[in-house]
Amino acid sequence: MFGGFYTSRYQLGPTPGRGVMYARGGRMLGGSSAFAHIGSFEAIGEEIAIEIRTSRHNPDPHYSAMAGTDDATLLARGRADGRNYRFAGELKELPGVPFQSVLTPVDEPSLPATGATGAGGIVNGLYSIHLRLLDGVDGGLTGVMLLNEGRILGGDNYFYYLGAYASEHGRWKGQILNQEHTPARGVDLIFGGHEVGIGFAGTCDMDSARFEATALAGKRSVRLSAALKLLQRA
For 133: left if phi > 0, alpha if psi spans -120 to 50, otherwise beta; the answer is: beta
Structure letter (DSSP) for residue 217: E
**pLDDT tens digits for 19-64?**
999 999 999 999 999 999 999 999 999 999 999 999 999 999 999 9
Among 5, 155, 157, 12, which residue's Cα sits nearest to residue 74? 12
pLDDT beyond 80 at 170: yes
Given 50, 76, 105, which residue is the final one in a domain? 105
Task: Tell me whether residue 110 is in a domain.
Answer: no
pLDDT beyond 70 at 1: yes
| pLDDT for res 129 | 98
Task: Tell me whether residue 222 is in a domain.
Answer: yes
Residues 86 and 132 in one domain: no
Average of per-residue pLDDT across 166-190? 87
Q: How many domains does the chain have?
A: 2
Residues 85 and 181 in one domain: no
Residues 148 and 221 in one domain: yes
Given 71, 105, 139, which residue is the final one in a domain? 105
pLDDT beyond 90 at 206: yes
Residues 146 and 62 in one domain: no
Q: Determine the Cα–Cα distance for residues 42 and 95; give it in Å rounded to an integer.
A: 22
Q: Which has the minimum average pLDDT: 5-14, 98-107, 176-185, 194-203?
A: 176-185
Q: Would the pTM count as exceeding 0.75?
A: yes
The count of residues in the chain is: 234
Confirm if 19 and 9 have CB atoms less than 8 A apart: no
* Angle at 54 (CA atoms; ends 51, 170), nearest 5 degrees: 110
Residues 219 and 145 in one domain: yes
Domain that holds residue 28: 4-105
Q: Which residues contact 68 (CB under 8 A, 6 or more apart)?
A: 93, 94
Residues 225 and 141 in one domain: yes
| pLDDT for res 96 | 95
Q: Determine the Cα–Cα distance for residues 204 and 201; give it in Å rounded to an integer.
A: 10
pLDDT beyond 70 at 112: no
Residues 139 and 204 in one domain: yes
Structure letter (DSSP) for residue 234: -
pLDDT beyond 90 at 139: no
What's the CATH code of the domain at 22?
Answer: 2.40.128.380
| pLDDT for res 143 | 97
Residues 142 and 220 in one domain: yes
Q: Determine the Cα–Cα distance for residues 85 and 157; give it in Å rounded to an integer.
A: 19
Task: Tell me whether residue 86 is in a domain.
Answer: yes
